[in-house]
Amino acid sequence: MAELSDVYFVDGMRTPFGRAGEKGMYWNTRADDLAVKATIGLMARNTAVPAARVDDVAIAATSQTGEQGLTLGRSVAILAGLPQTVPGFAIDRMCAGAMTSVAMMGASISAGMYDVALAGGVEHMGHYPIGGNADPNPRFVAEKMVDPGALNMGVTAERIFDRFPQLTKERSDRFGMLSQHKAQAAYEAGKFQPDLVPVAVKDAEGSWGLATEDEGRRPQTTMEDLAALKTPFRPHGRVTAGTSSPLTDGATMSLLAGGGAVKELGLTPKMRMVSFAFAGVQPEIMGIGPIPSTEKALKKAGLTIDDIGLFELNEAFAVQVLSLLDHFGIADDDPRVNQWGGAIALGHPLAASGVRLMIQLAAQFAERPDVRYGLTAMCVGLGQGGSVIWENPHYNGRKR
């Protein structure tokens, strides 16, 4: 009989994130090949795990068509050279796709059904714009189930400003600026580079190069720059390109294992999964979704927000993160929050981003033995939120 098991995040890697569109570095690169590169890089770094021991591969994509169709988990596993005995499947929970991949594989490991699994996500927003091939049921609007604006993420972000007057444009601009500055400082300190898989890319002239860094960073951003930007989602609005995550291409992959496999294979995990939760909110104001999902995850873990020593919150929009910080009484510039910047600077390839949060949290855990628990959380289109709480295996019991 299968026994319940602890779940460990053994390792994670990702491609550099590129700007979506014809001028982006991945315009001539297939989406599934990005996921393949992340998978190959991860397995090459974890040679103690025989590929045949992988019980399943879960890969998320929001637009599951074209290169992102054909059951990504299975097709990418084959293309990455895993044995054909290794199965795989695809997941869609929009922005929380990779986070859901990790949660579902983690739950399977916890129940004793799997020992080792791969979980990640990919999004090529240049080839497959968000909602590009979607055909929303007309009942959503006709029967007033969902306001038409709920399908435009920028409009939902403007509505957070409407609901919470204390969330000013200035606060949002400052948060966006600091994301850029923190990300650049982290790059200069070499924080990201160890977990990036270089990708060969071909430009419009047919010349080959190597993608080694996230492409969309704007480290020189100032408050004056942000104040001058247009508000595309509403006249005289408060959401701008400088306080939103850019359209992005990229892939992420993580290696998860149960306690028995960790011991048997001599692995050194980077994090232990404590709890996870997903929650639904009104689609019209989807950005507040991580608030109830975090409350659920904390309750399941028997923890409070004060127990969380590091936060990796997806910056779909600055105002979305600020709404969560205000709810839990956390300052905008709290050093526990996104200390290496976030999606505003690094990019947000939708279904891939959840594992990017985990990779960064794991790297920070290694530097912070005084921190026991960390949170990865994100908002999700159509009114959802996702949260995963992790424990630091390096924790030494001495808080700073």
> What is the set of active-site residues?
95, 348, 379
Rounded CA-CA distance 17/252 in Å is 10
User: Distance between CA 277 and CA 96 in Å, rounded?
Assistant: 11
Q: 8 pairs with which residues across the strands?
A: 257, 272
CA atoms of 172 and 380, how far apart (whole Å): 19
Number of residues assigned to the chain: 400
Residue from 63, 58, 41, 152 nearest 104 by CA: 58
Interstrand relation of 199-202 and 208-211 (parallel, antiparallel or unpaired)? antiparallel
Q: DSSP states of 61-127 as a string?
A: -SS-SGGG-STHHHHHHHHTT--TT--EEEE--GGGHHHHHHHHHHHHHHTTS-SEEEEEEEEETTT
**Three-state secondary structure along 335-366?**
CCECCCCCHHHHCCCHHHHHHHHHHHHHHHHH
Phi-psi region of 272 (alpha: psi -120 to 50; beta: other; left: phi over 0): beta
Nearest-angstrom CA–CA distance, 222 and 27: 29
